[in-house]
Structure 1
């Protein structure tokens, strides 16, 4: 079974990160591609701009954001479906995967919601 970590992209890359996947819709300012040391950037698996703005604007609390994001993760659109296939492939091929994010809150953010959703079998339930 794959181990899934969640980490801020501003923290130094480490060999224990395994496969590093950026799950941010926007490229983080001030981070070079070399410093990021990414395997892949999956921006299509991230919350929509509307959802991201509503959460950061205070229109949604953490529970409402998590529920809405989970709904988006399961949405039947082509770009998100392709991102799920790619994420599923990476998880199957690697022992350790680190989901990278650029949010200030390290306890709760879209990457933590994504990790929980994957661990709960959400990725397996979607096609």
Structure 2
């Protein structure tokens, strides 16, 4: 896939507990842990990118504590800023092939979660 198609990808986030819709486009679960009580059929994923999720240590340290949000974001961005993670991002964008990307996550907090950070990273990569 050419870099040109990356510019077409719009990136959105959606909780795993919201129903999938055709408008979601390319659906990617970005959690290391499968969302409790959700089946493969219900989630209707195109991909599970558990390795793009925060490391186990970072996830446990954060614990979805909003007071740790700023530091979590920086630490997660640092984790994403490796050649291996950049390769994963490139692969994800290539697989989406210019379609809308919906990052699916299981956290209850809709404002303080890894999908929000990853959305920002992917949006910058796709030229938004």
| Shorter-chain TM-score tier | 0.7 to 0.9
2:44 aligned residue (22, 37, 61): 37
Query: 1:71-86 alignment to 2 at 5 Å?
Result: 71-77=78-84, 80-86=85-91
Q: Number of residues paired by the alignment?
A: 120
Task: Describe the shift of the 1:3–1:106 C-alpha distance in structure 2 as closer, same or farther (beyond 3 A).
Answer: same
Tell me the CA shift for residue 54 of structure 1: 0.4
Uncovered stretches (5+) of structure 2, i.e. residues with no partner: 1-7
SS in 2 for 1:38: coil
Q: How does 1:1-127 map to 2 (within 5 A)?
A: 1-56=8-63, 58=65, 61-77=68-84, 80-91=85-96, 93-121=97-125
Secondary structure of 2:116 counterpart: helix
Deviations 1:82-110 (A, max 9, x none): 5223212134x032110000001112210
| Greater relative CO (CA pairs within 8 A, separation 6+) | 2
- RMSD value over aligned CA atoms? 2.1
Gaps of 5+ in 1: none
Length-normalised TM-score, structure 1: 0.84
